[in-house]
């Protein structure tokens, strides 16, 4: 199985300005001269953490941001992913969108941030989603999902783990950044999975401050990319499928995990 090159895209998002944000991300990604298999963008990367009806896009594969992602993925020969505000069948969702050369895959945020009234504006997702990409199995998650380990619990099925890489796309404020750091490590260790965490920087329209701390963690809880404090840019590292398999074989904790049914 081939290695996977992961790029974490950490920026300050312009409040409720999709066109400007798409242009900014595109400039950074196009200028990134290191080949990458996956570019990961933050949560609500076109708007910031907004509840404004005026920045909601109708979901389809021809929605402005989805079309932009498809074009950029083709030009860079990579996957592009992150969450955006989308409406479908009269309901608004905080939706993670994954686009590569062969597929568009979506995941709707399961755990809406009640403390920030997100549940009043968006419909909660129900299903876990596993993305198949270049032989890797990838679990997308969004921000507040990080606090709920049962929903992301890895399992051992048919002599393999359910997934190999977990992605968290977030707008996680500075006031609780210690929890972001600690829980990111915990999710990697307990699930024997790589974990990629992408957060924004800057200040949003609600005057919340963000310091980033985007990071990449291996299955043993060791940083491949240590938390990046406030710096803007694209941060790239290669993850090894062979290394992951060797670690799981030497220390097969997933085989000993408790079975359960999620409701």
Task: Specify whether the CB–CB gap between 198 and 214 falls below 8 A.
Answer: yes
Q: Residue 79 belongs to what H/E stretch?
A: strand 79-88
From the list 70, 76, 109, 123, the catalytic residue is 109
Cα gap 204→21, rounded to integer Å: 13
Cα gap 237→243, rounded to integer Å: 14
Strands (E), 100-231: 104-108, 131-133, 136-142, 156-157, 160-161, 165-169, 194-198, 201-203, 209-217, 223-229
CA-closest candidate to residue 117, choices 50, 177, 210: 50
Task: Specify whether the CB–CB gap between 182 and 147 falls below 8 A.
Answer: no
Does 109 participate in catalysis according to the annotation? yes
From the list 16, 43, 57, 118, the catalytic residue is 43
Does 70 participate in catalysis according to the annotation? no
Buried b (16+ CB within 10 A) or exposed e, 182-196: ebbbebbbbbbbbbb
| Residues comprising the chain, all counted | 263
Does 81 participate in catalysis according to the annotation? no
From the list 16, 76, 143, 237, the catalytic residue is 143
User: Which pair of structure tokens corresponds to residue 225?
Assistant: 């990319």
User: Which pair of structure tokens corresponds to residue 151?
Assistant: 């929903």
User: Which pair of structure tokens corresponds to residue 63?
Assistant: 């929605």
Residues serving a catalytic function are 43, 109, 143
């Amino acid at each position: 199985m081939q290695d996977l090159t992961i790029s974490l895209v950490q920026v300050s998002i312009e409040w409720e300005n999709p066109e400007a944000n798409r242009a900014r991300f595109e400039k950074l990604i196009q200028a990134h001269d290191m080949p990458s298999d996956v570019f990961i963008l933050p949560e609500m990367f076109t708007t910031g953490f907004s509840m404004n009806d005026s920045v909601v896009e109708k979901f389809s594969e021809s929605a402005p941001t989805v079309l932009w992602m498809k074009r950029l993925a083709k030009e860079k020969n990579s996957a592009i992913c992150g969450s955006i505000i989308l409406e479908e069948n009269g309901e608004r969702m905080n939706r993670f969108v994954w686009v590569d050369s062969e597929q568009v895959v979506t995941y709707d945020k399961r755990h809406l941030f009640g403390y920030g009234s997100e549940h009043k504006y968006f419909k909660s997702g129900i299903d876990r989603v596993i993305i198949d990409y270049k032989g890797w199995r990838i679990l997308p998650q969004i921000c507040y999902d990080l606090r709920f380990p049962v929903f992301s619990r890895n399992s051992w099925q048919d002599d393999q783990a359910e997934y190999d890489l977990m992605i968290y796309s977030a707008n996680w404020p500075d006031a609780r950044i210690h929890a972001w750091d600690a829980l990111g490590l915990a999710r990697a260790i307990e699930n024997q999975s790589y974990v990629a965490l992408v957060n924004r920087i800057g200040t949003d329209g609600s005057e919340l401050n963000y310091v980033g701390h985007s990071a990449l963690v291996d299955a043993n809880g060791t940083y491949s990319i240590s938390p990046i404090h406030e710096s803007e840019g694209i941060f790239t590292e290669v993850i090894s499928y062979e290394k992951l398999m060797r670690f799981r074989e030497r220390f097969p904790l997933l085989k000993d995990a408790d079975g359960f049914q999620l409701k």
